[in-house]
Chain A
Amino acid sequence: MILLSAKGLKLAFGGVKAADGIDLDVRSGEFLAIIGPNGAGKTTFINMVTGYLTPQGGEIQYDGQSLLGLAPRRLVRLGIARSFQLPQLFLEHTVLENVTLAIAAREGLWSPSRPLMRAAWRGEADDILGQFGLSEIADRRADTLNEGARKLTDIAMAVALKPRLILMDEPTSGVAASEKISIVETLVRVLRTAGVTAVFVEHDMEVVSRFADRVAVWNQGKIATLGPPDDVLTDANVLRDVIGIDPEVGSHAAA
């Protein structure tokens, strides 16, 4: 079943075509990786799907409904959540508070008399922090965290919203190499168990090859290739343009 369907998306900033006719169908429950050189329009795509940017042409259908013109807030209510390339945390709040606030937002936070840190929510937040290995720093303020912890908290907040579709912008950038795979394993397990569909922008090809069901290759605002990782990641054009390996020379052609 197709959960998200983008057709002919176009968006240009000045003379730069960030999206030049994007056609993409995301299947329910799949893990779709988006790879491509910087500036190819990957974040722009996520921004359009989450309502932050309005496409200048084309259509986005989610669960049979058009997303065009809807504010980010409405899209969250429809079950679309995202995490950010640069983590967007509430800096003066602790990690636990950040995640609990996400839970509160999901549940509707309109009562001014009951505390944020009530038992049920706190318990759920503790669980989520545990799944991401953040329990030890639960009481640290968000602006004191290192890059990797910030990234994880950012993703944890998106997961706490219990979305149907989650879009993650470079979820493993900044995470220590030794922890990357185990964290992604956890993330994938959590999402698969909940039946969440995931679209993620990623630069680490090992993560992509191990965890993605399909890979979409972005280049200059268009999707150049789409297919299972085994096919895409051995495609010569992809290797040269995106990953920077010239198959004939056999080494990295670009830094």
Chain B
Amino acid sequence: MNRNADLALALLAAALILGLSWAVPWLRFVMTVALAKGLAVLGILLLLRAGQVSFGHALYLALAAYVVAFAATRVPEVLVLLPLAALSAAAIGLVVGLFVSRYRAIFFGMLNLALSMVFYSILDKFYEVTRGGDGVRVATTKFAGASLSPEQQSWALLCLALVLAITFGAFVRRYLSSPLGSALSALKTREARLEFMGVPARRVLLSAYVISAFMAGCGGVLIALSTRHVTPALAYWTASGELVFIAVLGGAGSVFGPFLGALAYELTRTYAAALVADAWQMILGAVLLIVILFAPGGLWGVGRALVLRGRQT
């Protein structure tokens, strides 16, 4: 699909989301959270291209969320909190990345997992600083200096989420078709050859890792602002697993995948939880199994196949 078709599709999807949110007001929250997770999953997608899976990316999401929660009382301005928290996540991503980019495959995944669990345990147990399991409430914030009503806030957040999603989606798309992006995917199959061509493979992986941490950070900001309450659970290993889940559910073949997957995930979860309180995990687990077994290209792959088949008839 070429650039213009992709952009058109993205704008169409955005319009659809806005329309649905206007028609069904409580969907606004779900959509915002879904887009936030989609941003984090974009980062997972990048690393998947290099053949690496991080089972600890919730670390960056949670970190940014907590930065927002702690900073919001002092700096209640969204347009400041966003870069502040996201850059913090990216900074930690750089430090962590300098270490983990030396590792591959299961060791890469394990180290990320361990680090996110270290963070989780700090959040959960150091009550004095982090309020532990109770979590931290996020104070009311302003948007570009303006104090908004709760309804206006939710619209503003949704629009912010859409802007971030489209911007980063476009960026990642460009990145993947650039030499850097190709080197990233070459890492998956023949890393040694890259070195024999003069390319510092570790640095390529590191750049992707930092970008992914930044995007996860943006996602964390959105989650903090929309849920207004951050808890250590944001950093638990199952949250990281969820991100990988969504990556595969949506389809790792396109930048639309993460958002498609996240929307499907959140909508299913919300509806399933409403219908059968303690079975939403089971339903989602079954959905993932079905996708992996019968449609490994994810929802995006399914959609694409349908469109192509539709064109043939």
* Residues of A participating in the B interface, judged by any CB pair closer than 8 Å: 50, 71-73, 76-77, 81-82, 88-93, 97, 101-102, 104-106, 109-117, 157, 161
Contacts and interface: CB of A to CB of B under 8 A. Distances in A.
Interface string B268-298: 0000000000000000000000000000000
B196 A90 contact: no
B194 A115 contact: no
A109 B180 contact: yes
B174 A112 contact: yes
B179 A109 contact: yes
22 contacts: A50-B196, A72-B195, A72-B196, A73-B195, A73-B200, A76-B198, A88-B192, A88-B196, A89-B189, A90-B186, A92-B185, A97-B182, A101-B179, A101-B182, A105-B194, A105-B197, A109-B180, A110-B180, A112-B174, A112-B207, A115-B177, A116-B179
B193 A93 contact: no
B304 to A, nearest CB: 18
Contacts of B207: 112
Interface of B: 174-175, 177-183, 185-186, 188-190, 192-200, 207
A50 B198 CA distance: 11
Contacts of A50: 196
B78 to A, nearest CB: 27
Contacts of B197: 76, 101-102, 105-106, 157, 161
A92 B189 contact: yes
Given A92-B188, A161-B198, A116 B193 contact: no
A72 B276 CA distance: 58
A154 to B, nearest CB: 9
A33 to B, nearest CB: 22
Contacts of A110: 179-180
B2 to A, nearest CB: 12
B178 A113 contact: yes
Nearest to A103: B179
B147 to A, nearest CB: 37
Contacts of A77: 198
Contact of A105 (B177, B189, B192, B199): B199
B190 A90 contact: yes
Interface hub of B177, B179, B200 (most chain A Cβ within 10 A): B179
A143 to B, nearest CB: 8
A216 to B, nearest CB: 23
B182 A116 contact: yes
A93 B178 contact: no
B175 A112 contact: yes
Main secondary structure on B side of the interface with A: helix
Interface hub of A81, A105, A112, A157 (most chain B Cβ within 10 A): A112
B180 A88 contact: no
A50 to B, nearest CB: 7
Given A50-B196, A101-B183, A114 B188 contact: no
Given A73-B198, A73-B199, A106-B198, A89 B178 contact: no
Interface hub of A97, A106, A110 (most chain B Cβ within 10 A): A110
B179 A89 contact: no
- Sorted nearest first, the 9 A-B pairs with minimum C-beta distance are A109-B179, A76-B198, A104-B179, A105-B197, A90-B186, A88-B193, A91-B189, A112-B175, A116-B179
A111 B199 CA distance: 13
B246 to A, nearest CB: 23
Contacts of A114: 178-179
A77 to B, nearest CB: 5
A90 B198 contact: no
Contacts of A116: 177-179, 181-182
B182 A112 contact: no
Nearest to B185: A92
Given A71-B195, A90-B193, A91-B190, A111 B200 contact: no
A97 to B, nearest CB: 7
Contacts of A113: 174-175, 178
A88 B178 CA distance: 21
A253 B174 CA distance: 60
Given A101-B183, A114-B178, A109 B190 contact: no
A89 B200 contact: no
A50 B195 CA distance: 11
Interface hub of B183, B188, B197 (most chain A Cβ within 10 A): B197
B181 A112 contact: yes
A92 B192 CA distance: 15
Given A101-B183, A111-B180, A89 B198 contact: no
Nearest to B196: A72
A71 B192 CA distance: 12
